[in-house]
Amino acid sequence: MQTKTALITGITGQDGSLLAKHLINLGYRIIAPTRKNPDKSNLNNLGIIDSSLIEFLIYKQFSDFEAIIAQHKPTEIYHFAAMSHVGQSHENPAVVFDVNCNWTLELLASVIKNSPNSKFFFASSCEIYRNDLPSPVREEDEKRPNNPYGISKLSAHQMVDYYRLVKGLFACNGILFNHESELRPASFVSKKICSNVARLVKSGGKPLTLGNIEAKKDWGYAPDYIKIIHEIMQQKNAQNYNVSTNKLYSVKDMVNAAFSALNYEISWQGEGIKTHAINSAGDTVVSINEKYFRPLDNRFLRGDNSKIKQFMQNHSQTPFTQWVKSMTLNEYKLLN
Ligand code: GDP
């Protein structure tokens, strides 16, 4: 059988590095364009940094991808690279739009011109949905994002639809709900919670300070989602899929799960902004600070995941408490 080639944008990020590991196990050759001097710590942590199956290339601008696609004609293209922080997108909407939408469009145009048989996957986002829709939301439900990140992702998502429906490209949107792992950067609440809980249990110190702990998300485990994404690309027809668990957990649930992973008892006291958690000695271990609250952070959306159920017989989903435990134990181990 001929070796498959995958081009991954964003290979150094959480999803890119996890996918690279999965594809290496499946025998793919990987083309990995990065900026100069990228941080390859995720690839290092996964033990694949020196894999002979990964060919790293340096790109300077989005237009450099045209030559890369023309030369390699990848079997599959996974476009993960993005400005991925919803909160921060309010500060720099023009940059977010350029990276998340214009770059996707450049890639699609280049694929149709230079390698029309390549399959294309775009990491779309649950942030594209109207935020007051009844849950669970389905792929065809109304889109109306309320932050620059969601707006940029929706525009790119619609370009992917256009290239599939009008130009005939095998192009899929994976509408990814929040997905976490040991490789999440510190700006995401999962990493912030798990690393601070590990530190508090190990050596105490100042409390973990959070924003809206009542915010609820449909949270999944990234290594599970990567396998589903690969399956999406093996189907006969290109389609859009929610990649979700159809379950909601709050930020507070995550804090409880992280402490309980290390058998550390806490109890919650107070209300609203004064809510805090104390340990058995009466010391405050979690507090709230308004500076971490988001504008319009009221999206308690669950994703209907019926369409991906067909892939989940082979790839079961890790339960919430289990992956929070895994992330917390990993952080605890790093402190030793
Ligand atoms: P996002 O959904 O892609 O923005 O992922 P995050 O992990 O950054 O945030 C998930 C949820 O946690 C959002 O609803 C945030 O408002 C909420 N949250 C509560 N406290 C914090 C915090 O201290 N930091 C972050 N990043 N999010 C927080």
Predicted confidence band of residue 167 (pLDDT cuts 50, 70, 90):
very high
Task: Give yes or no for residue 2 having a pLDDT over 80.
Answer: no
Task: Give yes or no for residue 88 having a pLDDT over 90.
Answer: no
Nearest CA to ligand 1 atom 5: 188
Q: Are residues 51 and 120 in the same domain?
A: yes
Angle formed by the axes of helices 103-114 and 148-165, to 10°? 20
**DSSP H or E run through 157:** helix 148-165
Percent helix, percent strand, percent coil in the chain, to nearest 5: 40, 20, 40
Q: Is the CB of 66 under 6 A from ligand 1?
A: no
Range of the domain at 240: 5-181+220-246+301-317
pLDDT at 301: 92
Cα Rg of the chain (Å, integer):
20
From the CA of 294, give the closest atom in ligand 1: 16
Ligand 1: which of 251, 252, 298 to mutate, judged by most atoms within 8 Å of the beta carbon?
251
Q: Are residues 146 and 283 in the same domain?
A: no
Distance 227 CA to ligand 1 centre (A): 25
Q: Are residues 61 and 107 in the same domain?
A: yes
Average pLDDT over residues 54-62: 96
Nearest CA to ligand 1 atom 9: 189
> Tell me, what CATH number does 241's domain have?
3.40.50.720
pLDDT at 132: 87
Q: Are residues 117 and 61 in the same domain?
A: yes
Q: What is the pTM of this model?
A: 0.95
Distance 93 CA to ligand 1 centre (A): 18
Contact 300, 248 (CB under 8 A): yes
Q: Is the CB of 252 under 6 A from ligand 1?
A: no
From the CA of 289, give the closest atom in ligand 1: 23
Q: Are residues 173 and 258 in the same domain?
A: no
Q: Are residues 148 and 31 in the same domain?
A: yes
Ligand 1: which of 189, 248, 299 to mutate, judged by most atoms within 8 Å of the beta carbon?
189
Predicted confidence band of residue 1 (pLDDT cuts 50, 70, 90):
low
Q: Are residues 209 and 230 in the same domain?
A: no
Contact 313, 234 (CB under 8 A): no
Q: Is the CB of 232 under 6 A from ligand 1?
A: no
Predicted confidence band of residue 110 (pLDDT cuts 50, 70, 90):
very high
The torsion angles phi and psi of 156, rounded to 5 degrees, stand at -65, -40
Q: Are residues 12 and 152 in the same domain?
A: yes
Number of domains in the chain: 2
Nearest CA to ligand 1 atom 23: 210
pLDDT at 84: 86
Compute the mean pLDDT over every residue in the chain, rounded to the nearest whole number.
95
Distance 202 CA to ligand 1 centre (A): 24
pLDDT at 298: 62
Q: Are residues 156 and 234 in the same domain?
A: yes
Average pLDDT over residues 55-61: 96
> Tell me, what CATH number does 287's domain have?
3.90.25.10
From the CA of 210, give the closest atom in ligand 1: 23
Q: Are residues 210 and 227 in the same domain?
A: no
Distance 110 CA to ligand 1 centre (A): 35
Q: Are residues 81 and 162 in the same domain?
A: yes
**Residue 14 exposure: Cα atoms within 13 Å on the Cβ side:** 23
Distance 112 CA to ligand 1 centre (A): 37
Q: Per-residue pLDDT tens for 120-142?
A: 999 999 999 998 898 899 999 99
Average pLDDT over residues 262-276: 97
From the CA of 191, give the closest atom in ligand 1: 7
pLDDT at 316: 83
Q: Is the CB of 179 under 6 A from ligand 1?
A: no
Q: Is the CB of 90 under 6 A from ligand 1?
A: no
Q: Is the CB of 300 under 6 A from ligand 1?
A: no
The torsion angles phi and psi of 235, rounded to 5 degrees, stand at -75, 160
Q: Are residues 260 and 167 in the same domain?
A: no
Nearest CA to ligand 1 atom 12: 189
